[in-house]
Structure 1
Amino acid sequence: MSLLEVKNVSKTISNKTILENIDLTLKEGEILGFLGPNGAGKTTTIKLIVGLFRITEGDIIINNYSINENPQKAKSSLGVIVENPAFYPYMSGYENLKHSYRLQNGAPNKNRIKEVLNIVGLTDRIHDKVKKYSLGMKQRLGLAQALLHQPKILILDEPTNGLDPDGIKEMRRTLKKLASEEDIGIIISSHLLSEMELMCDRVTIIRNGKIIANKILDESNNSSIYKLNTTNNIVARKILNKKIIRNISRNELILECSEIEIQRSIRDLVEGEIDIKYVNKEKVSLEDYFVTVTKDGSDISESIDD
């Protein structure tokens, strides 16, 4: 079941298009990594989802409610940490959570507060003043705050920021447990790609205000990266245009496709009288994939076509 559908959403500010025709989905129990270079449009997209910006075109459906038509109902399903969570430093962590619960739901529910503290592993220091908390502890407190009203969707910006390796591992375990056992859908925006590869089921990549890639991170996924060199890469590029991620040099093309598709591509090249020098199947990390699909290849395309 889809918990979130971003449908053909665009955002224009002062006649400048910030986002163009964004489509994004999130299912129950799924952890989605939302990735992109600085200034790509990640934060703007998140602010549209949580209702901090108005949509110029399109719609966002959250737990079956349109944010255009019923924003309060739509937003009630969200738990959000956008940028660094803010707290009252001279209040304890527990007092901050009681205050947050009061603002969202009325009288504080001590049992629910206890539940979320156990989930995030912050029971030992919860009565300390927040000004004494490390950045990592504030991240845990922020997650607890976001979980108070039992949201169906969590949206987290750099949730492992400030955590040591053990803390990162524990946060990963916590989020995966929330997704698998509570059927919560989670969107994570982070620059820590190695961690995203371990944590996420799927990634969506945005560049220059447009979605440019969706990739399943399950190892059983049959899509692979192939490096290809031919006797005429200019013509080969035209034959394989829809499968090419990017030209990386005059002598090599890079494709993402299944084994069946690469076999079909080789046949297409042979039928086009293009001789193949080599085809190499590559093991590509999420970091390598991200760099490949987000790097501007216009200068390389021009050099090949010369």
Structure 2
Amino acid sequence: MATLEHATRVATLLESYRELVAELRAELEGLGAGHAGLVGEKVAHALRAPVATELISAGGNDVLELTARTARMAETFTPSAASTATSLAHHITILLLQQIDLAWWSDAEDIEDSAALEDSDAFVDMHDWRREGRIKFSFSLASDRLVPRARNYAIRHWFPDWAPGTPGPSTAMARPEMVRLLNSLAIEFSHRAGPEVPPLWVNCITRSVADQCRLQELGFAAHLPSAHCRGWAADLEVAWFARFGAERTLVEMLNWYGDQGVLNAIDEGQIWHISPNPAAIDEWRV
């Protein structure tokens, strides 16, 4: 857990940092396509602001390296199914807002690979919890095997009301605090949306660094470092709930928790990314 001094320091930066990122996105959206150099200049100018420098540094990242990364993104970004971002400005916004996760969880160690995850006693198997009736949300693990992949394809194309048909978590291992948090959100969403709406659907929780690198190789927008690789983030299906008239309900709920400072809630398009504030996590500990 981060020290009280570190947590207090980060808390004082959040509102101003989010405002800076929102203003930057509006500027970048106004540029339109074909202005990679100007995009880089505007990002560099924004990240020189003391609030940005301090928050990014609190997460253990280097501002110059992050600026260079956004410049590379500006040169190479193309909207695709591998990225839920709707535009380059959106893509950069997601990266910058995820710096809040890293500032919150700067003292958490990265999970390098599946062996490190399996050896850790800080994680539980969600399959076991589901068999015991302790999971209130839905999830379906990603798979490289032909039959599960064919099943996901069939769901997407012929039975879209059954499930989103997205790949799902790469592992069933998750921190118990994250499972309890997601259970709490699932119960509240069910109350808000009504019993006819499917349960909250979780696309991703824990990923190892190796998982994240593999996704990058496949062309997905999988940033490193990431709170997913520390066990402190989750991706929730949101757009799919428009089929049931419940997308706005879910968005309003996530925004409320974001406004309260309980979550860092990021609109990534089809999905929303969430990471809990360490100051609030005790609510979901045993």
TM normalised by structure 1 equals: 0.27
Task: Decide which structure has greater helix share.
Answer: 2
Task: Decide which structure has greater strand share.
Answer: 1
Larger Rg: 1
